[in-house]
Amino acid sequence: MRAPRKRGDALLGCPFYSSASTCAYALLFVVAGLNKYKLVFLGEQAVGKTSIITRFMYDTFDNNYQATIGIDFLSKTLYLEDRTVRLQLWDTAGQERFRSLIPSYIRDSSAAVVVYDITNRASFLNTTKWIEDVRAERGNDVIISLVGNKTDLADRRQVSYEEGQQKAQEHDIMFVETSAKAGYNIKNLFRKLASALPGLETQQTPNDAQMVDVQLNATPQQQDLTSKSSSCSC
């Protein structure tokens, strides 16, 4: 069983099936009075969903990633002038064998981030199905952003910026291109999402806000078991 992801001594997220998840999940939501918004990340395997989240959470990139198994959960707190908002980031597996799990995580989401790889045309074509899945579960009561990742591999591009923009316009959703590896447009993506969240439209946007990681203490066993190995250019 894979251990929860962490940085240093901080336990920042845990797979839905892990023995630590119940405790971690309970601790994350024990704070009363926070506005909580669930952001679910969708897309084919190896398009860079985990890398985008990792860049946002820790401002780091690792060329070596193991494919996400099931669903991983992380949380980041955003301090605004008049409120504290907790962003719940749900990282879903792209493999077909986990597809049956995903609708239940979409169902109560505030925003869906549908990611494709600009060097993989099939991953772009398949975003239509992901968008339809979100609409089927949430109708129009959800913010959707289409994200073309890996702009650092522009020489291998198979999907133009204009194609991504056109698809977003057809579905009336947001669109942005990013590079998790270079850190390009990652903060901008989350700023756009946060500014569009219900109740935040007229509030201060994350541009001037302070973001901190949720920190829970990891056990020595969890620290020893942490693993992220295998190759993915995300």
Integer Cα distance of 13 and 28 in angstroms: 10
Q: Give CATH for domain 9-220.
A: 3.40.50.300
Q: Which amino acid is at 55?
A: R
Q: What pLDDT is stored for residue 213 in this prediction?
A: 38
Non-local CB neighbours of 41 within 8 Å, separated by 6+ positions: 49, 52, 53, 89, 90, 91, 92, 112, 113, 115
pLDDT band at 66 (very low <50, low <70, confident <90, very high): low
Q: Which amino acid is at 47?
A: V
Residue 6 pLDDT greater than 70, yes or no: no
Question: How many angstroms from the chain centroid is the CA of residue 2?
Answer: 19
Q: What pLDDT is stored for residue 33 in this prediction?
A: 55
Q: What pLDDT is stored for residue 98 in this prediction?
A: 64
**pLDDT 10s digits, 187-213:** 899 888 887 887 654 443 334 344 333
Residue 177 pLDDT greater than 50, yes or no: yes
Q: Which amino acid is at 50?
A: T
Residue 216 pLDDT greater than 50, yes or no: no
Q: What pLDDT is stored for residue 72 in this prediction?
A: 76
Look up the pTM and report it. 0.71
**pLDDT 10s digits, 107-156:** 999 999 999 999 999 999 999 999 999 999 999 999 999 999 999 999 99
